[in-house]
Amino acid sequence: MSILVGNDTRVLVQGITGNEGQFHTRQMRDYGTKIVAGVTPGKGGQDVDGTPVFDTVSEGVAQTGANASIIFVPPAFSADAILEAAEAGIELIVCLTEGIPVNDMLAIRKHLDSVGIKLIGPNTPGLISPGKCKLGVMAGYIHQPGHIGIISRSGTLTYEVVHQLTSLGIGQSTCVGIGGDQIIGLSFSDLLLLFEQDPDTKGIILIGEIGGSAEEEAAQVIADHISKPVVAFIAGQTAPPGRRMGHAGAIISGGSGTAAAKIEALQSTGVGVAESPAHIGELMAESLIR
């Protein structure tokens, strides 16, 4: 099994006729993802390599039964694209776009929470259930089907950890990049609970970074609800206070959001925290043996 995406996921691509949309649609389809529709306003009736293009998401859903959407749309139009997908009844929305205004995302989160629709991102590489479905820009060939769930705020570190696990012969159930913006959809805490409920996931890796309180909140969820072994790494341990490092959400302010505070919170719940990203895979392997 896996979480969020699998063999039954039917994907609609918003912005499919742009260069980025076309390229990654081909990559996802070649991986085995069921791409059933695309949407670009004004280009309905066309196709991209045989995938039909519609003017609206609702039309695409009605014609193809799409239940997930991935968004390759510029920041100025991404908020509307997310809301359009939600109003069309899409169950899972993945938004890769970086730079959506915070005020727009606040309104989107309020709406999506009220109707129970799941959002991954924005500013995410996407997610993948190896051997089943890829929604995003991850390099599918480094992944291997298996039993470790990965939740990460860093795309680059996700690829490093996946490579380590695969090299050790340890496969993954689902890997999720939650996104690096200040306001995102599903959080560490949300995904931890989904992995806890997935019988095929035997262990969980959490890759966090400085800024915000998501990792501390995840530590409380782990203490209260997670029975499976969890391994973590916190990036940005040498970052100076007040300076944004990489992601909009990766900023220490007012003495909060430090790597030390996050590491302490996780370790207090029994989570093994790797000192270096190079040791995450080995630490997960050791945790599975205990």
For 228, the enclosing helix (H) or strand (E) is none
User: If you count DSSP H runs as helices and E runs as strands, how many of each does the chain have, helices first?
Assistant: 9, 14
163/150 Cα distance (integer angstroms)? 12
85/56 Cα distance (integer angstroms)? 9
Strands 68-71 and 10-14: parallel
Rg (the chain; Cα; Å)? 19
Residues annotated as catalytic are 247
Q: Pick from 98, 204, 216: which is nearest to 161 by CA?
A: 204
- Phi, psi values for residue 195, rounded to 5°: -65, -35
3-class DSSP state for residue 146? strand
The runs of H, that is alpha helices, within 95-232 are 102-115, 155-167, 188-197, 214-225
Q: Decide if 151 contacts 194 (C-beta within 8 A).
A: no
ω into 122 cis (within 30 of 0): yes
